[in-house]
Amino acid sequence: MNYTHLGRTGLLVSKLCLGTMNFGPQTIEADSFAIMDKALELGINFFDTANVYGWKIGEGVTEQIIGRWLAQGGGRREKIVLATKVYGKMGEGPNDRRLSAYQIRRACDESLSRLQTDHIDLYQMHHVDRETPWEEIWQAMELLVQQGKVLYIGSSNFAGWQIAQAQQKAHHFMGLVCEQSLYNLRDRMIELEVIPACRSYGLGLIPYSPLAGGILGGALEKQAKGRRASEHVQKEIEENRSKLEAYEGLCKEMGEQPADVALAWLLHNPAVTAPIIGPRTMEQLEGSLRPLAMQLPDEILKKLDEIWPGPGGEAPEAYAW
């Protein structure tokens, strides 16, 4: 396994991040335990979750599963960089969501309890809160750091200007160390401003949905299987059919699986810290390692850009002289 710094910090994380969103809803607890054990064995030390995962309001199902896995001991907690998130709806009360100091404090304590740990390595804002001032957010986050409950703060789904605003308001506090964004060969909007903002402020980039919900994982060949058989995914396949035909054809010429090429493309980008892989099975986890060793020559990268063109580079040059 290869490791890299999380943004401008001294913390080293694996080049693949284990996403746990499927633990509970898609993967039973015993299999989730086995996947996490195998991830450690493979050298993956970066685990990502959120208080809302499990999709039962207020229960934190996925965090509870991870907590019971950590409670088994064996040095599990000491071997991982544990990331979770705050913002989503965790109750029916008016203050059971978003990023008020009231909610940040309570949500953190509740996550710590479910995760059965005394600290969160990376606490991420799951979305920007336009109704709470940055002075309040940073005061609450800095207090958690001072108390030893949180080590680093990250963001998710922020626009470039919101990253800049957050950092300007952080003052002496370290502020954000990473941004978790939707990013893959098909969805490249963040190349306009988010990636430049991350680079300018020294934030790591953690792409989620690296296979675009399965579209980039051999969708044409597997479109009748699993979640690809859903009406929503079938519609996406039809909308992207010509691109998918060219993409899967190129992957076949390369002798590589489409999912591996999509991950390798992300790993090739120096702005990317670690794509989030969300395996539902052990087979999917073990299959995610191949891209780490893949090299994409310039001619392949050029062909991929032709099939899945980005926004044209960084703003404003992407759209202005």
Q: Kind of pairing, strands 176-182 and 81-86? A: unpaired
Query: Of 53, 87, 123, 183, which one is the catalytic site residue?
Result: 53
The pLDDT score that the predictor gives to residue 222 is 77
- Mean pLDDT by runs of 10 across the 321 residues of the chain is 97 98 97 98 98 97 98 98 98 97 98 98 98 98 98 98 98 96 98 98 98 95 64 89 97 97 97 97 94 97 98 96 89
Structure tokens at 91: 């109750």
pLDDT for res 182: 98
Does the predicted TM-score (pTM) go above 0.75?
yes
| pLDDT for the residue numbered 234 | 87
Give the model's pLDDT for residue 230.
73
Of the candidates 231, 308, 279, 321, the one whose C-alpha atom is nearest the C-alpha of residue 17 is 279
User: In the prediction, which pLDDT does 227 show?
Assistant: 56
Closest to 112 measured CA to CA, from 23, 49, 24, 26 = 49
**CA–CA separation, 178 vs 176, rounded Å?**
6
Predicted confidence at residue 223, as pLDDT, reads 65
Q: How far is CA 259 from CA 48, 184, 265, 307, in A?
A: 20, 11, 10, 15
H helices present in the chain, as ranges: 29-42, 61-70, 76-79, 101-115, 134-146, 160-170, 194-201, 219-222, 231-239, 241-254, 258-268, 282-287, 298-307
Is 53 annotated as catalytic?
yes
DSSP letter at 293 equals G
DSSP 172-241: TS--EEEEEEE-SSS--GGGTTHHHHHHHHT-EEEEE-TTGGGTTTTHHHHTTSGGGGSHHHHHHHHHTH
Q: Give the tokens for residue 280.
A: 């539902």
Could you tell me the domains of the chain? Answer: 3-307 (3.20.20.100)
DSSP assignment letter at 122: E
